[in-house]
């Protein structure tokens, strides 16, 4: 089955490592590296979490280390408060800094909106060390952070995470990195913020993996986990986990996407939409829709001129609408993209690149994004001009099909692959963490349109 969405005039948007030579293995798997910046030891140059997001940045120029550090998350930590306005009402349009957190700076972490708070978990430092196994939740009604209970899992980064409405799934990721390669995980757990408790560990039926995606299916009440990299090969299998029965099932392989990692995925209300990613020798320019009710895949023909890529925004869902924006189209450090794809449930169209007068350095890898109301927002990432991190953004209005510049005062410092979640009650977005090519961050900001 193949979906051939008609093109319309309505244009809208959105790692790999061999033991002997991680950089070479990354190229073979379609994960880009940059020898002018990277040490060549990391799989996270342009891997995507989805996450949301996820988490997924280039290593800095630190000397590779022979060991990694587990953080001690067992000690009790008090809730901490900063002198920042409580997010219960209007804070004025634009950016307001988030209060400080005791979490260490990190990248390749995940963040989800957990019903009443933003939950940040896992990740790694700027040079992939230390690897973090802790997390914290930000409560916007009190403007406070609280460290979440220890998960009982090995610290990890480039894992996948998703929110069910009551629980956060954490699955897979890298649990160790060093000169002899990367150790992928196949385990995970469910976190319930209402009780601050984790489930017993659960394990994927298939291979251990990182740079996979996870979404929550509202039609079957399952987490859908797909693809990724095993540490030696791209994967093209997927699994569904149903918390109510604590059981896994294998997703159909018929007409499924080819093996890939660092792709992007989102749930549009009835299907999981999946695009791009690193494949052997390059990047995929295809898209697919998976229906968990019928356990079937359908390919989606992208618009003419859309190039293969990874390093896009996470899949950005707004009801039946799903958008993906930006990304990296080849191994060249300057071959970045400022366009994207938009799915409205019936048709797929291309989102045009914003003008540089609206979004400076508009071609970007590793931006984040979100929907607020009917407007799509994209922010940050590293641009093709100077291969530098950015801290500017733009919003797209689907009614007028136009881009507008976002305010920049008090925005977070320049970074790529930060996480972003939306508080649907207040209509605010929270951007946190990320990397600027030298250091990772433990700060962020609230955005109100």
> Which letter does DSSP use for residue 141 in this model?
T
What pLDDT is stored for residue 92 in this prediction?
53
* Total count of domains within the chain: 1
Beta-bridge partner residues of 161:
170
CATH of the domain at 32: 2.120.10.80
Q: State the Cα–Cα distance between residues 153 and 176, nearest whole angstrom.
A: 13
Q: Which two tokens stand for residue 237?
A: 């299998």
Q: Which two tokens stand for residue 60?
A: 């800095």
What pLDDT is stored for residue 173 in this prediction?
98
Contact 23, 179 (CB under 8 A): no
Tell me how far the alpha carbon of residue 75 is from its chain's centroid.
29
Neighbours of 397 (CB within 10 A): 14
> How does pLDDT run along the chain (449 residues), one tens digit per residue?
434 333 222 222 233 332 233 223 333 344 333 322 222 334 544 343 333 333 332 233 333 222 222 222 222 222 223 333 333 333 358 999 999 999 999 999 999 999 999 999 999 999 899 999 999 999 999 999 999 999 999 999 999 999 999 999 999 999 998 767 799 999 999 999 999 999 999 999 999 999 999 999 999 999 999 999 999 999 999 999 999 999 999 999 999 999 999 999 999 999 999 999 999 889 999 999 999 999 999 999 999 999 999 999 999 999 999 999 999 998 887 899 999 999 988 889 999 999 999 999 999 999 999 999 999 999 999 998 888 999 999 999 887 889 999 999 999 999 999 999 999 999 999 999 999 999 999 999 999 99
Rg of the Cα atoms in the chain? 19
What pLDDT is stored for residue 255 in this prediction?
98
> Percentages helix, strand, coil for the chain, rounded to the nearest 5?
0, 40, 60
Beta-bridge partner residues of 228:
235
**CB contact burial 81-109 (16+ within 10 A = b; e otherwise):** eeebeebeeebeebbbebbebebebbbbb
Q: Which two tokens stand for residue 431?
A: 């951007």
Q: Which two tokens stand for residue 153?
A: 């899992």
Q: State the Cα–Cα distance between residues 151 and 168, nearest whole angstrom.
A: 12
Place of tokens 């995470």: 161
Q: State the Cα–Cα distance between residues 247 and 384, nearest whole angstrom.
A: 45
What is the DSSP secondary-structure string of 383-423? ESSTT-BB--EEEEETTTTEEEEPP-TTPPPSBBS-EEEEE
Query: Quick check: helix, strand or coil at residue 121?
Result: strand
What pLDDT is stored for residue 100 in this prediction?
97
What are residue 316's phi and psi, to 5 degrees?
Answer: -110, 110
Neighbours of 250 (CB within 10 A): 12
What's the pTM value of the predicted model, to 2 decimals? 0.82
Q: Which two tokens stand for residue 83?
A: 């002198």
What is the DSSP secondary-structure string of 330-371? SSSTT-B---EEEE-SS-EEEEPPPPTTTSSS--EES-EEEE
Q: Which two tokens stand for residue 340?
A: 């994207």
Beta-bridge partner residues of 351:
340
Q: Which domain holds residue 327?
A: 2-448
């Amino acid at each position: 089955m193949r979906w051939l969405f008609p093109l319309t005039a309505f244009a809208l948007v959105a790692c790999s490592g061999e033991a002997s030579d991680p950089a070479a293995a990354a190229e073979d798997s379609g994960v880009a590296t940059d020898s002018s910046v990277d040490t060549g030891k990391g799989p996270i140059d342009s891997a995507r979490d989805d996450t949301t997001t996820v988490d997924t940045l280039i290593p800095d120029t630190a000397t590779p280390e022979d060991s990694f550090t587990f953080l001690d998350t067992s000690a009790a930590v008090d809730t901490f408060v900063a002198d920042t306005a409580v997010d219960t009402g209007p804070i004025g349009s634009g950016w307001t800094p988030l209060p400080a957190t005791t979490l260490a700076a990190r990248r390749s972490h995940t963040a989800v909106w957990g019903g009443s708070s933003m939950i940040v978990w896992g990740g790694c430092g700027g040079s992939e060390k230390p690897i973090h196994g802790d997390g914290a939740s930000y409560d916007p009604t009190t403007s406070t952070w609280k460290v979440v209970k220890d998960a009982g899992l090995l610290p990890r980064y480039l894992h996948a995470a998703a929110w069910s409405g009551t629980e956060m799934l954490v699955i897979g990721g890298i649990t160790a990195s060093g000169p002899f390669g990367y150790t992928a995980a196949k385990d995970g757990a469910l976190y319930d913020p209402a009780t601050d408790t984790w489930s017993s560990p659960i394990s994927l039926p298939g291979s251990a993996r990182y740079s996979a995606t996870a979404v929550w299916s509202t039609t079957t009440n399952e987490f859908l986990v797909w693809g990724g990299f095993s540490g030696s090969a791209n994967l093209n299998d997927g699994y569904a986990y149903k918390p109510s029965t604590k059981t896994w099932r294998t997703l159909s392989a018929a007409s499924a996407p080819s093996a890939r990692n660092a792709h992007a995925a989102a749930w549009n209300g009835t299907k999981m939409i999946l695009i791009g990613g690193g494949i052997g020798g390059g990047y995929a320019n295809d898209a697919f829709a998976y229906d968990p009710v019928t356990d079937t895949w359908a390919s989606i023909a992208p618009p003419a001129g859309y190039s293969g890529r990874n390093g896009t925004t996470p899949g950005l869902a707004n009801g039946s609408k799903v958008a993906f924006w930006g990304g990296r189209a080849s191994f060249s450090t300057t071959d970045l993209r400022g366009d994207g794809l938009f799915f409205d449930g019936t048709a797929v169209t291309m989102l045009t690149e914003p003008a540089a007068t609206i979004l400076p350095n508009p071609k970007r890898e590793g931006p984040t994004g979100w929907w607020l109301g009917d407007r799509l927002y994209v922010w940050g990432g590293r641009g093709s001009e100077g291969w530098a991190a950015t801290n500017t953004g733009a919003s797209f209005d689907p009614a007028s099909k136009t881009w507008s510049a976002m305010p920049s005062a008090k925005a977070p410092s320049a970074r790529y692959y930060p996480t972003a979640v939306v508080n649907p009650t207040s209509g605010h977005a929270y951007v946190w963490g990320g990397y600027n090519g030298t250091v990772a961050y433990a700060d962020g900001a609230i955005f109100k349109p």
